[in-house]
Amino acid sequence: MTTSRLRGSLVTAVTWVLVLAFFFPVAWMVFTAFKPESQAATMPPTFAPDFTLDRFETVFSRNMLPYLINSLSASLGSTLLVLALAVPAAYALSIRPIVNVRDALFFFISTRFMPVAASIIPVYLLLQSVGGLDNVTWLTILYIGVNLPIAVWMMRSFLAEVPRELIEAAQLDGARLGTEIFRVVLPIVLPGVAAAGLICFIFAWNEFFLANLLTAQVARTTPPFLTSFVDGRGQFLSVLSAASTVAIVPVVAAGWIAQKQLVRGLAMGAIK
Amino acid sequence: MMLTTKVRRKAVPAGFAAGALALALTGCAGAGGGGGGTEEGGTVELTLATVNNPQMKDMEELKSAFEEDHPDIKVNFIQMEENDLRDAVTKDVATNGGQYDIVTVGSYEVPIWAENGWLADLTQDLESDAEYDVDDLFEPVRDALTLDDSLYAVPFYGESSMLMYNKELFDEAGLTMPDRPTWQQVADYARQLDSDTVDGICLRGKPGWGEVFAPLTTVVQTFGGTWFDESWDAQVDSPEFTEAVQFYVDLVKDAGEADPVSTGFTECLNNVSQGRSAMWVDATVAAGLLEDPESSDVAGKMGYAHAPVVETEESGWLWSWNLAVPETTQNREAAVEFVKWATSKEYHELVGNELGWSRVPPGARNSTYEIGEYQEAAAAFAPITRDIMLAVNPEQPGVAPQPWTGIQYVTIPEFQDLGNQVSQDLADVFAGRSELGPVLERAQRLAQEAGDAQK
Amino acid sequence: MTTLTSTPTTRRLGRPAAPAAKPARPRGLAVSRALLWPALATSIVLTQIPFVVTIYYSLQNWNLLRPGDRDFAGLDNYATVLRDGSFLSSLGSTVLITGSSVLLSTLLGLLFAVLLDRSFTGQGAARTLMITPFLVMPAAAALVWKWSILESTTGMANWALGLVGIPPVAWNTDVPIVTIILVLTWQYTPFAMLILLAGLQAQTKDVLEAAAVDGAGAVRTFLAITLPHLRQYVEISVLLASIMLLQVFDPVAIMTRGTGGTKTLSYLLYERAFVGLQVGEAAAYGVMTVLITIVVATVALRTLFKVFSKEGLGR
């Protein structure tokens, strides 16, 4: 018994070492954010710096707040709209599968395979012609296109788990479609909606390509703003770390808190 | 078929409903982002895109002085890394995107963009204001920004390139740097000084036409090479071009920094200012940063010399970061007002008094070099900077005449793409993944395509 | 539209004669289509229409830096694209980067899933820390890896190597493609782990116990029972990770700018469009990319993944 217990502790130790190694870049980033600039990029590294909050002050004095608000608007707005479109569509595809399910699903998922970059020129020029550049509303609308396939795909799997008997019973009772969806189905799949919403939110919050190209200042979001901390002519590592730390906090916190939803959201496709 | 029409009738309103919902919701979402760059309660908001160099950061720090004088104008800065700025501003201006009211552009872009009618002609605005004293602007710099006698941008700061070396390391090794060294001398010194703890020299290797090809093109020219001959035939596979690039790559490999492909101005600055590099050939503005005791360990220990040469007299480049106003702006008047302020004598005084005299933007105005405080604060590098800037010849920087004006770049629209692609391939040569021969063969083909477009 | 709606039976369904199929009622069909329509229309408008415009642009001779010289070019742009060779090398880079990152993160994800499926002290905390890299904004991840970890003189990677006596590596110069794969693997390992962990937890314990009673060793049980059970979880993890990684742009733009075999298709498209400013040529690259991804996606989805084969959609 002792050898197996010893082996157990050994595996636990190895697990922890590996996990901490994986977490290290994040930990180091946060640590660096609290260093004065002169102790950020040194060799050997500074492990006992003079802790300071100055870098965070710098980050906000460079006006990070509007960028965070833009990120939040685009992420939240697109997530809500995606759910509003995806839940009914997924409902049609799973609970009332009368249309061609496979082709429709295939179409959705294939739009996600197409590199966004492939048709970026028309998107850019079309937006420019309608005055839609540097505009949060248009960015939000484009994020719908990016996240809709994933949401439809996830919601279909969640809805497929709803016991068919429940719906049939409701239909036999002559329940209207609205009742069917809101009273019977939605409560069951609410955790699923939360999971899909969380994942759409994460993707939108982290999106860089479109935000970088299509926004300049008024609608610029956090990810492209971060790159502006890379200084052409001086030291910048701790202020960059501070800005990055602020930028990842909302999503990391949400992900940590809603871990269970995250797992469900990601794993569901495999179950059904 | 009856079914189909029925479906459609039902489906269409549902679709519209969703669309309307979408717009309503995003409308709310967008509200958080604030308004556009136009007038809002009488205040004009200007959007200024700039590189994030220290001089520009100083400008952002001091912009409140302008805003106090002009309570109806607010200036928002967007700072970007050089490559990002180029991509962002070029695409915006070229597509009439109109996202910026003021842009920071290099001397390469100004004549090309002016030719395309993308930049506002500032001649009238500047000449009509005697106090602004447009003639005080450095002549070679101003020439590069002028097209058909019209000025399309004003220099915020200007620079050439020179050799900077660590005098302590040279003394220890018993070496003396001449005032006008040759590349051969520099290469010998670099190889002698190179050790486990110190690199002999730092030279840019980062991809980008404005990165590695700024110093490298000057090396090519002083070796007798050029991108194009007088009839726009590409000369990239010529023996001189090849020899120069091979020399540069070998020098970096033997005695240069360890990670050339990630090394640009900043990385060299860090290496040199921490005493890890003995020499550095780069922008003259570096001197101001190396002499700042707060961020540099080598302040007071540096020596400065003309950029190394082979067959030419001088080999410094000529560059300026300029402020220009795109034609698409809705706020031309306010934008010009700010541009004038940021490039005025008054602004230089303000920087000197508020932030310190060594931080005054160099290489833009003659009068700056006559200010006593500036002469004193920048004694180590101001005179040589001015000498080199006035000595270089953008009409013919190399051995043979060339059909464009410009030193470390070719003033044609295709050059930024050409330079970028070749510099990316060059990264493979630095790493030893490719031979120089095939890389320059491809470069020759790309260059010929660009040259043919000029004929 | 007509073909679909004029056969109001379930013949074209994924589950043809399933006993649970309800009789098709006209009302049900109409409702279903009305529910699906908004999402479908949105998707078409946002993704397909720009693509049609891309095709149109690809037939134009149009350089933004030379306004006024715009005309019809026929297939010239395609000829340029095919002659240049950038397309094929980018395709190769994309496949290499996506393939190795997906493979590595799946293998590592499996390892972590197995390790974190055991109950041990601090299991919850370890899982929480472990999922973090997936949540980190890719732009932030790329910046931190580039400047804080892989920087050649002050980075932590070279410092750690130095501790065990390995000389510093010039990451960006010598192995740019490794830096990209490192960052992507780091971000997607937690993703694979989450999915595989769910798979492990969905495994019925009876089977495992039965195997133990039969005297099968842990390794044999894992290979013979657990791995086959995980197959569909691996599939979904590979599918989703591939979809996202095929478009990889952020780390390339931020860390390597396309040098040393890291120019993925997304970056190539961006560069042709917004650095080259050759609208026509860039559009031709876009069309080629889409054609290839459609072919690859169709083959991959229909053959490799059970979810899209006939039996996959039954419930």
- Residues A254 and A123 grouped into a single domain: yes
- List, in sequence order, every beta strand (DSSP E) within chain C: 60-61, 71-72
Structure tokens at B170: 């040279």
Structure tokens at B108: 């390469």
Share of chain A above pLDDT 90, in %: 43
Structure tokens at A22: 């994986």
Quick one: which of C311, C287, C299, C246 has its CA closest to C81?
Answer: C287
- Residues A13 and A132 grouped into a single domain: no
Question: Residues 6 or more apart from C192 whose CB is under 8 A from it?
Answer: C105, C106, C108, C109, C110, C113, C237, C241
Which pLDDT value is given to residue B350?
A: 96
- Residues A99 and A205 grouped into a single domain: yes
Quick one: which of B390, B414, B335 has its CA closest to B122?
Answer: B335
- Residues A82 and A34 grouped into a single domain: no
Q: Is C72 among the domain residues?
A: no
DSSP 8-state symbol, B199:
B
Interatomic CA distance for residues B424 and B222, integer angstroms: 23
Structure tokens at C228: 């086959």
C198 contacts C234 by C-beta, under 8 angstroms: no
- Tens of pLDDT along chain B (455 residues) come to 333 333 333 333 333 334 444 444 443 333 333 334 444 457 899 999 998 888 888 999 999 999 999 999 999 998 888 888 888 898 888 888 888 999 999 999 999 999 999 999 999 999 999 999 999 999 999 999 999 999 999 999 999 999 999 999 999 999 999 999 999 999 999 999 999 999 999 999 999 899 999 999 999 999 999 999 999 999 999 999 999 999 999 999 999 999 999 898 888 998 999 899 999 999 999 998 898 888 789 999 999 999 999 999 999 999 999 999 999 999 999 999 999 999 999 999 999 999 988 889 999 999 999 999 999 989 989 999 999 999 999 999 999 999 999 999 999 989 989 999 999 999 999 999 999 999 999 999 999 999 998 88
End-to-end alpha carbon distance in chain C: 26
- Residues A254 and A202 grouped into a single domain: yes
B440 contacts B423 by C-beta, under 8 angstroms: no
Quick one: which of C195, C313, B407, B194 has its CA closest to A267?
Answer: C195
Q: pTM value?
A: 0.87
Structure tokens at B56: 């520009």
Chain B residues within an 8 Å CB radius of A126: none
- The domain that holds A69 is classified in CATH as 1.10.3720.10
Which pLDDT value is given to residue B389?
A: 92
Interatomic CA distance for residues A57 and A39, integer angstroms: 17
H runs (alpha helix) in B77-228 = 82-94, 109-115, 123-127, 139-144, 167-172, 183-193, 213-222
Give the three-class secondary structure for A17.
helix
Which pLDDT value is given to residue A269?
A: 52
Measure C257 CA to nearest chain B CA, in Å.
Answer: 8
Residue of B23, B99, B204 best to disrupt the A interface, most CBs of A under 10 A = B99
Q: Do A232 and B266 touch (CB under 8 A)?
A: yes
Give the three-class secondary structure for B75.
strand
Give the three-class secondary structure for B120.
coil
Of residues C10, C133, C236, nearest to A269 (C-beta): C236
Of residues A22, A148, A160, nearest to C133 (C-beta): A22
C25 contacts A171 by C-beta, under 8 angstroms: no
- Residues A181 and A128 grouped into a single domain: yes
- Residues A108 and A161 grouped into a single domain: yes
**Nearest-CA residue of chain B relative to A75?**
B29
Interatomic CA distance for residues C34 and C117, integer angstroms: 44
- List, in sequence order, every beta strand (DSSP E) within B188-335: 279-283, 302-306, 319-324
Quick one: which of B446, B451, B413, B453 has its CA closest to B231?
Answer: B451
- Residues A125 and A234 grouped into a single domain: yes
Interatomic CA distance for residues C132 and C111, integer angstroms: 17
Which pLDDT value is given to residue A107?
A: 80
- Residues A175 and A49 grouped into a single domain: no
Structure tokens at A50: 């003079």
Q: Do C277 and B259 touch (CB under 8 A)?
A: no
Q: Is B81 exposed, middle or buried (CB count within 10 Å of its CB: 0-12, 13-18, 19+)?
A: buried
Structure tokens at B91: 């695409």
Q: How many residues does chain C have?
A: 315
Which pLDDT value is given to residue C18?
A: 39
Structure tokens at C261: 């075999």
Domains of chain B (ranges plus CATH)? Answer: 44-159+319-377 (3.40.190.10), 161-316+395-452 (3.40.190.10)
Which pLDDT value is given to residue C150?
A: 93
Q: Do C170 and B259 touch (CB under 8 A)?
A: yes
B253 contacts B426 by C-beta, under 8 angstroms: no
Q: Is C209 exposed, middle or buried (CB count within 10 Å of its CB: 0-12, 13-18, 19+)?
A: exposed
Interatomic CA distance for residues B66 and C52, integer angstroms: 48
Helix and strand numbers (H, E) in chain B are 18, 10
Specify the number of domains making up chain A. 2
- Residues A176 and A213 grouped into a single domain: yes
Structure tokens at B145: 């920004």
Q: Looking at chain B from residue 19 to 38, which residues have their Cβ under 8 Å from any Cβ of chain C?
A: 19, 22
Which pLDDT value is given to residue A232?
A: 62
Question: Over the stretch A101-114, which tens digit does the pLDDT of each residue have?
Answer: 677 777 887 787 77
Q: Do C294 and A164 touch (CB under 8 A)?
A: no
Residue A250 has pLDDT above 60, yes or no: yes
Phi, psi dihedrals of residue C31, rounded to the nearest 5°:
-65, -45
Residue bearing the bigger pLDDT, A164 or C15 = A164
Chain A residues within 8 Å of chain B (Cβ atoms): 38, 41, 66, 69-70, 72-74, 76-78, 80-81, 84-85, 124-125, 128, 133-137, 140-141, 144, 213, 216-220, 227-228, 230-235
Which pLDDT value is given to residue C309?
A: 53
Question: Residues 6 or more apart from B401 whose CB is under 8 A from it?
Answer: B230
Which pLDDT value is given to residue A268?
A: 63
Which pLDDT value is given to residue C24?
A: 42
In the A/B pair of chains, how many CB contacts fall below 8 A?
Answer: 122
Report which residue type is found at B450: A
Q: Is C83 among the domain residues?
A: no
Structure tokens at B18: 């969703």
- Residues A24 and A155 grouped into a single domain: no
Chain C residues within an 8 Å CB radius of B259: 152-153, 170-173
B209 contacts B196 by C-beta, under 8 angstroms: no
B223 contacts B283 by C-beta, under 8 angstroms: no
Residue bearing the bigger pLDDT, C292 or A235 = C292
Domain that holds residue A188: 61-271
Report which residue type is found at A216: A
- The domain that holds C167 is classified in CATH as 1.10.3720.10
Spacing of C-alpha C305 from chain mean position = 14
C168 contacts A272 by C-beta, under 8 angstroms: no
Phi, psi dihedrals of residue B316, rounded to the nearest 5°:
-75, 155
Interatomic CA distance for residues C94 and C268, integer angstroms: 10
**CB-based contact, C195 to chain A, within 8 Å:** yes
Quick one: which of B346, B348, B366, B365 has its CA closest to B357?
Answer: B348
Give the three-class secondary structure for B300.
coil
Q: Looking at chain B from residue 26 to 85, which residues have their Cβ under 8 Å from any Cβ of chain A?
A: 26-37, 47, 49, 51-54, 76, 78-82, 84
Domain that holds residue C232: 91-264
Interatomic CA distance for residues C181 and C97, integer angstroms: 6
Quick one: which of B402, A159, A112 has its CA closest to C241?
Answer: A112
Which chains contact A through at least 3 pairs of Cβ atoms less than 8 Å apart? B, C
Q: Residue B309: beta bridge partners?
A: B182
Chain A residues within an 8 Å CB radius of B257: none
A12 contacts C121 by C-beta, under 8 angstroms: yes
Q: Do C260 and B431 touch (CB under 8 A)?
A: yes
Q: Is C296 exposed, middle or buried (CB count within 10 Å of its CB: 0-12, 13-18, 19+)?
A: middle
Q: Do A218 and B26 touch (CB under 8 A)?
A: no
Question: Over the stretch A47-73, which tens digit does the pLDDT of each residue have?
Answer: 988 999 999 999 998 889 999 999 999
Average confidence score pLDDT of chain A = 86
The helix (run of H) or strand (run of E) holding residue B321 is strand B319-324
C308 contacts A102 by C-beta, under 8 angstroms: yes
Q: Do B87 and C260 touch (CB under 8 A)?
A: no
Q: Is C182 among the domain residues?
A: yes
Interatomic CA distance for residues B258 and A248, integer angstroms: 32
Q: Looking at chain A from residue 188 to 227, which residues have their Cβ under 8 Å from any Cβ of chain C?
A: 202, 205-206, 208-209, 212-213, 222-224, 226-227
Q: Is C29 among the domain residues?
A: no
HSE-up (13 A, CA, CB side) for residue B89:
31
DSSP 8-state symbol, C47:
I
Q: Is C185 among the domain residues?
A: yes
Give the three-class secondary structure for B50.
strand
Q: Is C50 among the domain residues?
A: no
Question: Residues 6 or more apart from C251 whose CB is under 8 A from it?
Answer: C138, C141, C142, C145, C179, C180, C183, C184
**CB-based contact, C119 to chain A, within 8 Å:** no
Sign of the alpha-carbon torsion through B261, C147, B416, B223? negative
**Nearest-CA residue of chain A relative to B34?**
A218
Interatomic CA distance for residues B183 and B165, integer angstroms: 14
The helix (run of H) or strand (run of E) holding residue B8 is helix B2-31
Beta strand pairing call for B102-106 and B44-51: parallel
- Tens of pLDDT along chain C (315 residues) come to 333 333 333 333 333 333 444 444 445 677 778 888 899 899 889 888 899 999 999 999 988 888 777 889 889 999 988 888 889 999 999 999 999 999 999 999 999 999 999 888 889 999 999 999 999 999 999 999 999 999 888 899 999 999 999 999 999 999 999 999 999 999 999 999 998 988 888 887 777 778 777 777 778 888 888 888 888 889 888 888 888 898 899 999 999 999 999 999 999 999 998 888 888 999 999 999 988 888 887 787 777 666 555 444 433
Specify the number of domains making up chain C. 1
Residue A215 has pLDDT above 80, yes or no: yes
Q: Is C65 among the domain residues?
A: no
Interatomic CA distance for residues B159 and B9, integer angstroms: 68
The ipTM (two decimal places) reads 0.91
- Residues A179 and A256 grouped into a single domain: yes
Which pLDDT value is given to residue A205?
A: 96
Q: Is C107 among the domain residues?
A: yes
